Amino acid sequence: MTALVRIAGLVRRFDVSKPWLNRLIERAPRQILTAVADVSLEIPERGVYALVGESGSGKSTIGKIAVGLLAPSEGAVEIGGVDLHRERDPARRTETRAHIQMIFQDPYASLNPRWRVRDIIEEPVRARGDRSEGLAERLLEQVGLSARDADKFPHEFSGGQRQRICVARALASEPRFIVCDEPTSALDVSVQAQVLNLMKDLQERLGLTYLFISHDLSVVRYMADRIGVLYLGRLVEEAPRDALFETPRHPYTRMLLEAAPRIDAFGREVDPPKGEIPDPINPPTGCAYHPRCPFADERCKRERPAMRDAGASRAACHAVEEGRL
Amino acid sequence: MTETPILSLRNLVVEIPTRRDVLRPVDRVSFQIARGEVLGVVGESGAGKSMTGTAVIGLIDPPGHIAGGRVELDGQRIDNLPAEKMRRIRGKRIGMVFQDPLTSLNPLIRIGDQLTETILAHLDVSEAEARRRAVAALEEVGIPAAARRIDSYPHEFSGGMRQRVVIALALAAEPDLVIADEPTTALDVSVQAQIIALLKRLCRERGTAVMLITHDMGVIAEAADRVAVMYAGRLAEIGPVAEVIAHPQHPYTRGLMAATPMATPPGERLNQIPGAMPRLDAIPAGCAFHPRCPVAEAGCRVGDPPRVEECGGRAACWVVAREAGLVRA
Residue B53: the pLDDT is: 94
* Residue A295 belongs to a domain: yes
Residue B250: the pLDDT is: 92
Task: Kindly state whether B158 is in contact with chain A, defined as any CB-CB distance less than 8 angstroms.
Answer: yes
User: Which residues from A are below 8 Å from B263, CB to CB?
Assistant: 263
Q: Chain-centre distance of CA B72, in angstroms? A: 16
Pairs of CB atoms within 8 A across A/B? 120
Residue A280, helix vs strand vs coil? coil
- This prediction has a pTM of 0.87
Residue B98, helix vs strand vs coil? coil
Residue A63: the pLDDT is: 94
* Residue A251 belongs to a domain: yes
* B188 with A219: Cβ contact below 8 A: no
Contact (CB, 8 A) for B32 and B8: yes
Contact (CB, 8 A) for A237 and A321: no
* A265 with B272: Cβ contact below 8 A: no
* Residue A321 belongs to a domain: yes
* Residue A20 belongs to a domain: no
Single-letter amino acid, residue B5: P
Say what the alpha-carbon torsion angle A39, A43, A48, A49 is, to the nearest 10 degrees.
-10
* Residue A67 belongs to a domain: no
Using one digit for the tens of pLDDT, what is the confidence trace for A219-238?
A: 999 999 999 999 999 999 99
Task: Kindly state whether A173 is in contact with chain B, defined as any CB-CB distance less than 8 angstroms.
Answer: no
Show the domain range for A248.
Answer: 244-260+283-325
Interface predicted TM-score (ipTM) over 0.90: no
How far the first Cα of chain B sits from its last, in Å, is 31
Task: Kindly state whether B256 is in contact with chain A, defined as any CB-CB distance less than 8 angstroms.
Answer: yes
User: What is the pLDDT tens value at each position of chain B, 329 positions in all?
Assistant: 468 899 999 999 999 999 988 999 999 999 999 999 999 999 988 899 999 999 999 999 999 999 999 999 999 999 999 989 998 899 889 999 988 877 889 999 999 999 999 999 888 899 999 999 999 999 888 888 888 889 999 988 888 889 889 999 998 888 999 999 998 888 888 888 888 888 888 888 889 999 999 998 889 998 999 999 999 999 999 999 999 999 999 999 999 998 988 888 877 888 888 888 888 888 898 899 999 999 988 888 888 888 777 776 788 888 888 887 776 55
Single-letter amino acid, residue B72: E
Residue B195: the pLDDT is: 87
Residue A115: the pLDDT is: 94
* Residue A102 belongs to a domain: no
- From A127's Cα to the closest Cα of chain B, the distance in A is 33
Least CB-CB distance to A265: which of B190, B221, B263? B221
Residue B252, helix vs strand vs coil? helix
Task: Kindly state whether B221 is in contact with chain A, defined as any CB-CB distance less than 8 angstroms.
Answer: yes
User: Which residues from A are below 8 Å from B270, CB to CB?
Assistant: 193, 196-197, 222
What are the residues whose beta carbons fall under 8 Å from the beta carbon of A9, sequence distance 6 or more? Answer: A38, A39, A40, A74, A75, A76
Task: Kindly state whether B144 is in contact with chain A, defined as any CB-CB distance less than 8 angstroms.
Answer: no
* Residue A320 belongs to a domain: yes
Q: How many domains does chain A have?
A: 1
Go through the domains of chain B in sequence order and give each one's CATH number. Answer: 7-93+173-323 (3.40.50.300)
User: How buried is residue B291: exposed, middle or buried, by Cβ count under 10 Å (0-12/13-18/19+)?
Assistant: middle
Give mean pLDDT, residues A204-221: 93
Residue A95, helix vs strand vs coil? helix
Residue A138 CA to residue A75 CA, distance in Å, equals 39
Using one digit for the tens of pLDDT, what is the confidence trace for B58-75?
A: 999 999 999 999 999 999
- From B194's Cα to the closest Cα of chain A, the distance in A is 5
Contact (CB, 8 A) for A230 and A53: yes
Using one digit for the tens of pLDDT, what is the confidence trace for A81-134?
A: 999 888 889 899 888 988 999 999 888 889 999 999 999 999 988 888 888 888
Single-letter amino acid, residue B27: D
On the question of pLDDT at A213 being above 90, the answer is: yes
* Residue A166 belongs to a domain: no
3-state helix, strand, coil in chain B (%, to 5): 40, 20, 40
Task: Kindly state whether A197 is in contact with chain B, defined as any CB-CB distance less than 8 angstroms.
Answer: yes
B191: enclosing H helix or E strand:
helix B189-206
- How many Cα atoms within 13 Å fall on the side-chain side of residue A10? 29
